[in-house]
Amino acid sequence: MNKLALHEPQRQAPLGVAIMFFQNLRRAINFVLAVLVVNLGNDFEILGMGFKGWGIILSIFFLIYSFLQYRKFYFYVSGDNFVIEKGVLRQDKINVPFARIQTVNTKQNIIQRALKLVGLKIDTAGSIAQEIQIPALSKTYAGELRSFLMQKRYEHQEENEEEVEEVDRTEEHKEPLLKLSVGDLFKVGFTQNHLRSGLLLFAIVNGYIWQFEDYLIKPFEPYLEETAKNLLTTWVLLLPFAIAVFIVLSVISSLVTTILRYYGFSFYLTKAGLEIESGLFNRNSYNVPFEKIQYFKWESNPLRRIIGYRTLKVKQAGNQAVNERKLIGIPGLKSRALLRVIQSQYPNRKGSTYTYFAPHRLMFIQRFIWLGLIPSLGFAAVFYFNQLDYLFYLPLPVFLLIIGFLTYRYWRSIVLRVNANFIEIRRGYVFPKRIVIPNYKLQNISQSQSFLQAFRGLRTLHLHTAAGSLRVSHLPKKAISELHDYLCYCIESSNEKWM
């Protein structure tokens, strides 16, 4: 406390002016980017001043504004609150009660790294809409402030709970459970879901291109039309080429995103929770207190299975949109490390015998009809009406066989198992996933039945947690009603805090 001197308002590190300046600049550039691109090369004139003149004036204005922003940004402790005051034109005062603090994370983007500064971000329980961030602190100060805040948070939360556990919260120096070397990074990158990253890249590129469609494509239009005609005749030749380009681009994009996100990734298991640090340009560190974790999910894909890597996802409480942002993935875990994490969290996971449930074959039939039969009938109809050669029909049985095989394996892969403390769901053949939820983390339970299920006495179980809903369909009615009552009993009789 003495070192932090939080009893009186503190400013950020002096270089914070630069951080604020770049923040403002980035916002401004985003704003005028379209105008700049369109007018690229040709100067313009407003009120007798050109590109350079306006640029200088705006820069000076931003510099002054950033300086004021820096001067007006304070943080201090008042009573049981951490307070941030900021704003030049409109003064904002953000009060964060210590007890409401969930986690304190540090962030570093490329500018902050260059200036050796760290941004501190405070996550709170409940919906304080504003983002609570202190963008520019010196590294040591940020570390101290963070441990100070976390310390306060524990003190206040323990005051509220009667049984104060004597846990040693002092800095234990910890061995990372997982550290990704550059080699690991390449392995993780090469085994990403390339199709997804390819499509993502395509979507991004597509989104940007159409913004500037008029300027980029219009001039070439007559030329394009002509080539399009030629292309149509040679599409058979070009298709494999296009596919190859797509694959190469996808792999490169997966590699780049992996390296950007996971460079220097280290993952720690501490007494209070999980800690993760990663990122090449934007260096982020997260920590997740144990009680905030709603459930664990781990998944793999065909490429990763070869090298035995799995991705662990830690699902935290929060609404879906926030969740996507906060979702923490830990790639490249070997099964032993994975088991160690799960074991440390849920020591009695194998405490009692599991009862297993598997879906009825109606699920296979329905999926096969929707994914296999209906599309192939559609194609057959199209071929028929276009009076195409019978050769076109040949791939259809092959397609049906593949879909049949995949849906069969998918259906067989789904297993729900329940014991006295945990629910585990396993599903997926190509992309196997597993989910472990402690029973008391459930929020509420539903069951549903469509008329098709009603004929066979089947139902679907929906499990709602604070980190999203899960469902298992086509289980026998009797099993569902037992599970429903049992899980309700588990929730109602548990005194453990779900958050």
Partner 1 sequence: MLLQNLNVDVEELPRLEERDFTLLERDYLYYRITGKVLFLLALSGIGASISLFGKLYFGYWLYPILGLLALILLLELVGFKHRGYSIRDKDVSFRSGWLFHRMTTVPLNRVQHCEFNQGILGRLFDLATVKVFTAGGTSSDLDIRGLRKKDAIKVRDYITKLSALYE
> Is 444 a residue that touches partner 1 (CB under 8 A)?
yes
With respect to partner 1, which residue has the nearer C-beta, 343 or 352? 352
> Is 127 a residue that touches partner 1 (CB under 8 A)?
no
> Is 448 a residue that touches partner 1 (CB under 8 A)?
yes
User: Counting every residue, how long is the chain?
Assistant: 499
Q: How far is the CB of 353 from partner 1 (least distance, A)?
A: 4
d(CA 219, CA 172): 64
116, 248, 449, 457: which one contacts partner 1 (CB under 8 A)? 449
Paired sense of beta strands 92-97 and 81-86, if any: antiparallel
Q: How far is the CB of 458 from partner 1 (least distance, A)?
A: 12
> Is 96 a residue that touches partner 1 (CB under 8 A)?
no
> Is 419 a residue that touches partner 1 (CB under 8 A)?
yes
Is the sign of the CA dihedral 370, 371, 372, 376 positive or negative?
positive
> Is 348 a residue that touches partner 1 (CB under 8 A)?
no
With respect to partner 1, which residue has the nearer C-beta, 192 or 316? 316
d(CA 294, CA 314): 8
The residue to which tokens 């002016």 are assigned: 17
> Is 322 a residue that touches partner 1 (CB under 8 A)?
no
d(CA 465, CA 469): 6
With respect to partner 1, which residue has the nearer C-beta, 96 or 418? 418
Q: How far is the CB of 163 from partner 1 (least distance, A)?
A: 17
CA angle at 76 for the pair 62 and 109, rounded to the nearest 5°: 45
d(CA 213, CA 224): 14
CA angle at 103 for the pair 99 and 108, rounded to the nearest 5°: 140
With respect to partner 1, which residue has the nearer C-beta, 181 or 449? 449
With respect to partner 1, which residue has the nearer C-beta, 320 or 386? 320
**Segment contacting partner 1 by CB under 8 A, of 28-36, 198-206, 252-260, 413-421:** 413-421
Nearest to 146 by CA among 272, 319, 305, 295: 272
CB 300 within 8 A of CB 309: yes
With respect to partner 1, which residue has the nearer C-beta, 138 or 443? 443
d(CA 403, CA 417): 27
> Is 489 a residue that touches partner 1 (CB under 8 A)?
yes
Is the sign of the CA dihedral 464, 468, 472, 473 positive or negative?
positive
d(CA 452, CA 362): 9
Q: How far is the CB of 321 from partner 1 (least distance, A)?
A: 11
> Is 492 a residue that touches partner 1 (CB under 8 A)?
yes
d(CA 494, CA 492): 6
CB 210 within 8 A of CB 218: no
Q: How far is the CB of 316 from partner 1 (least distance, A)?
A: 12
CB 374 within 8 A of CB 396: no
Q: Count interface residues toward partner 1 (CB under 8 A).
A: 41
> Is 445 a residue that touches partner 1 (CB under 8 A)?
yes
Q: How far is the CB of 291 from partner 1 (least distance, A)?
A: 13
CB 332 within 8 A of CB 382: no
320, 321, 325, 385: which one contacts partner 1 (CB under 8 A)? 320
What is the token pair recorded at 244?
């190859």
Binders in 463-482 for partner 1, by CB under 8 A: 464-466, 468-469, 478-479, 481-482
> Is 122 a residue that touches partner 1 (CB under 8 A)?
no
Q: How far is the CB of 489 from partner 1 (least distance, A)?
A: 5
Nearest to 286 by CA among 272, 295, 270, 275: 275
- Using alpha carbons, list the distances in angstroms from residue 241 to 27, 219, 235, 236: 40, 26, 10, 9
418, 425, 435, 472: which one contacts partner 1 (CB under 8 A)? 418
With respect to partner 1, which residue has the nearer C-beta, 179 or 462? 462
With respect to partner 1, which residue has the nearer C-beta, 21 or 357? 357
Q: How far is the CB of 349 from partner 1 (least distance, A)?
A: 14
With respect to partner 1, which residue has the nearer C-beta, 185 or 414? 414
> Which amino acid, 139?
K
> Is 327 a residue that touches partner 1 (CB under 8 A)?
no
What is the token pair recorded at 446?
């539903």
> Is 78 a residue that touches partner 1 (CB under 8 A)?
no
Q: How far is the CB of 195 from partner 1 (least distance, A)?
A: 28
Binders in 349-368 for partner 1, by CB under 8 A: 352-353, 355, 357
d(CA 372, CA 366): 10
Name the packing angle between helices 16-38 and 51-71 (round to 10°): 150
d(CA 247, CA 233): 23
With respect to partner 1, which residue has the nearer C-beta, 103 or 465? 465
> Is 287 a residue that touches partner 1 (CB under 8 A)?
no
With respect to partner 1, which residue has the nearer C-beta, 177 or 483? 483
Applying CB under 8 A, the residues found at the interface with partner 1 are 317, 319-320, 352-353, 355, 357, 418-420, 442-451, 454, 462, 464-466, 468-469, 478-479, 481-486, 488-489, 491-492, 498-499
